[in-house]
C-alpha cells in the first residue's frame, strides 16, 4: 500500500504581521497595532471526571477562555490610551493603576505553506480580549544594540456564534450556545480581502 497523497495539507505556519485592533462595545474603527513580532495563544480547557460505581463514568469539559501574549518591538501609546492603561498628565505620559479594562478585538496575518502549494497568508481575529499592561524588558547596549521587548498578556473570552441571520445566538441540537474565540479567513474565502477592515460577527452556515 502506497503512502497517502498529502498535497494541500499544511506543512508549516510562520511569521506574524500587520496587526490591528478595534475596541469592543463602542463604534470603534480598526486601528493599526504597532509592530507585533510574537503571538502566543493557549487553550484553557479543564476536564471534570465523573465517577460512579467505583469507576470513571464520563467527563465534562470547561472551556471558558483562551490566554497568551502579544509581543511588540515597541510600546503602542495609542493602543494603551484606548485601553485605559496610560494617560497624559502635566508631567508627561503616565502609567496608571488599572481599575477596569476596555475589551478589544485583535487581528493579524500569518503565513502558511501547504504541500505542493505556494505560500499563503491567512487573516485572524481574536475576539473579546482583555489586555494587561505590558511587561517590559530593558538591557544596556554593549557591542551592539540590545532591543527591548514588550509583551501584552491577554485573556480572550470570545463571543457567541450567531444564527445564520445574525440576529440571535445560535443554539445547537442539544440546546447549547457555541462560543467563538477566533475567526479566520483564508485566501479562497469570499470575505478575505476585507477581513481585517472590520471585526466579523461569526454566524452559523446555512444548510
Q: Is residue 147 assigned to a domain?
A: yes
Q: How many domains does one find in the chain?
A: 1
CB 185 within 8 A of CB 122: yes
Q: Concatenated DSSP letters for 173-197?
A: TTS-B-EE-EEEE-TTSTTSTTGGG
Alpha-carbon gap, residue 135 to 21, rounded angstroms: 19
107 in a structural domain: yes
Residues 6+ apart with CB under 8 A from 151: 38, 69, 70, 71, 134, 135
For residue 37, being part of any structural domain is answered with yes
Compute the distance between CA of residue 77 and CA of residue 134 in angstroms, rounded to an integer.
Answer: 11
Query: What is the structure's pLDDT at 17?
Result: 95
Q: Give the pLDDT score at 194.
A: 97
Rg (CA), the chain: 21
Each residue's pLDDT tens digit, 74-85: 999 999 999 999
Helix and strand numbers (H, E) in the chain are: 1, 13
Q: Is residue 77 part of a domain?
A: yes
pTM score: 0.91
pLDDT in the model for residue 67: 97
Residue 135's domain comprises 10-44+59-197
CB 126 within 8 A of CB 105: yes
pLDDT of residue 1: 64
Q: Which three cell numbers stand for residue 2?
A: 502506497
Domain-located, residue 75: yes
Is residue 52 in some structural domain? no
DSSP 133: P
Per-residue pLDDT reduced to its tens digit, 29-64: 999 998 899 999 999 999 999 999 999 999 999 999
Residue 125: the pLDDT is 98
pLDDT < 50 regions, the chain:
none
Asked if residue 90 is part of any domain, the answer here is yes
Amino acid at each position: 500500500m502506497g503512502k497517502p497523497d498529502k498535497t494541500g495539507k499544511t506543512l508549516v505556519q510562520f511569521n506574524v504581521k500587520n496587526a490591528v485592533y478595534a475596541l469592543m462595545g463602542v463604534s470603534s474603527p480598526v486601528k493599526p497595532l504597532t509592530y507585533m513580532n510574537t503571538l502566543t495563544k493557549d487553550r484553557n480547557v479543564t476536564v471534570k471526571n465523573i465517577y460512579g460505581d467505583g469507576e470513571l463514568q464520563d467527563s465534562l469539559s470547561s472551556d471558558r477562555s483562551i490566554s497568551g501574549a502579544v509581543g511588540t518591538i515597541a510600546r503602542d501609546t495609542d493602543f494603551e490610551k484606548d485601553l485605559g492603561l496610560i494617560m497624559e498628565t502635566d508631567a508627561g505620559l503616565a502609567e496608571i493603576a488599572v481599575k477596569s479594562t476596555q475589551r478589544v478585538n485583535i487581528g493579524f496575518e500569518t503565513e502558511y505553506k501547504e504541500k505542493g502549494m505556494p505560500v499563503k497568508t491567512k487573516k485572524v481575529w481574536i475576539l473579546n480580549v482583555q489586555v494587561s499592561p505590558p511587561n517590559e524588558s530593558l538591557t544596556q547596549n554593549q557591542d551592539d544594540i540590545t532591543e527591548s521587548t514588550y509583551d501584552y498578556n491577554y485573556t480572550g473570552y470570545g463571543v457567541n456564534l450567531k444564527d445564520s441571520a445574525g440576529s440571535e445566538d445560535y443554539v445547537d441540537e442539544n440546546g447549547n450556545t457555541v462560543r467563538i474565540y477566533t475567526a479566520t479567513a483564508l485566501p479562497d474565502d469570499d470575505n478575505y480581502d476585507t477581513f481585517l477592515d472590520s471585526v466579523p460577527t461569526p454566524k452559523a452556515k446555512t444548510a
